[in-house]
Every structure is written in structure tokens, then in C-alpha cells.
């Protein structure tokens, strides 16, 4: 089957963002566009989703999102930096106190 050239215009910022996403997915933009055309034809519609969020290397981001959700459920998601630092200091004081008690026993 003969190849043909397909061209379209897009703004430069969109092109650069698309290339960066494809790079993170391990493909180039041309491969992605060929995949789109192939799947569009085989499925007779837009059948798939490829998102950077779904990649395994984003486990840290998923963990942060989960922490945020838990924090919101516990009601401490709106703490100020001073409140957070006070909580940390209190936890450290309690830990130091427990260490001292263990050393005495």
C-alpha cells in the first residue's frame, strides 16, 4: 500500500506539549498520529485513552493524591504551614519523651 502525506496546522505551543507527552509515553508524535488513524479506522471511532497519569512511574503522584484525599477526610487539609510545623514539633516532643522513658526503664 502506498504511503501518503497528511498535513495539518496547529499552534506551536500545542505541538510542543503534544511532543512532550508523547516523549513521556515513549513514542514520537508521528507514531501517535499513525496509531490514531489506524485505531480510528479499526474501531470506527475514537476508542482509546493514553494518559501520562496512568503510567507506573507516577506512583508518587498517585500517593500524593491519596494523601490529599485522606487529609481532606480527616479535616486537616486546610492546615497552615505554622499549624503543620506545630504538629511535627509536638510529635517529635512525644517521641523524645517516649525515648527517655524507655531509657530509664
50: containing domain: 12-54
Q: How confident is the model at residue 69 (pLDDT cuts 50, 70, 90)?
A: confident
Residues ≥6 apart with Cβ < 8 Å to 27: 35
Residue 1 inside a domain? The answer is: no
Residues ≥6 apart with Cβ < 8 Å to 52: 21, 24, 25, 58
Given the C-alpha cell 513514542, which residue does it identify? Answer: 27
33 and 62 inside one domain: no
Q: How confident is the model at residue 76 (pLDDT cuts 50, 70, 90)?
A: confident
pTM exceeding 0.85: no
63 and 95 inside one domain: yes
22 and 43 inside one domain: yes
Residue 31: predicted pLDDT? 92
- Based on the number of CB atoms within 10 Å of its own CB, is 30 exposed (0-12), middle (13-18) or buried (19 or more)? exposed
Given the C-alpha cell 480510528, which residue does it identify? Answer: 40
- Residues 72-78: what's their mean pLDDT? 78
Amino acid at each position: 500500500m502506498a504511503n501518503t502525506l497528511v498535513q495539518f496546522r496547529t499552534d506551536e505551543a500545542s505541538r510542543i506539549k503534544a511532543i512532550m507527552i508523547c516523549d513521556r509515553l515513549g513514542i514520537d508524535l508521528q507514531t501517535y498520529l499513525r496509531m490514531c488513524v489506524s485505531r480510528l479506522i479499526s474501531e470506527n471511532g475514537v476508542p482509546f485513552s493514553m494518559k501520562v497519569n496512568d503510567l507506573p512511574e507516577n506512583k508518587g503522584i498517585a500517593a500524593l493524591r491519596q494523601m490529599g484525599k485522606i487529609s481532606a477526610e480527616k479535616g486537616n487539609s486546610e492546615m497552615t504551614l505554622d499549624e503543620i510545623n506545630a504538629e511535627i514539633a509536638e510529635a517529635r516532643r512525644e517521641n523524645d519523651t517516649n525515648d527517655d522513658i524507655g531509657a530509664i526503664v
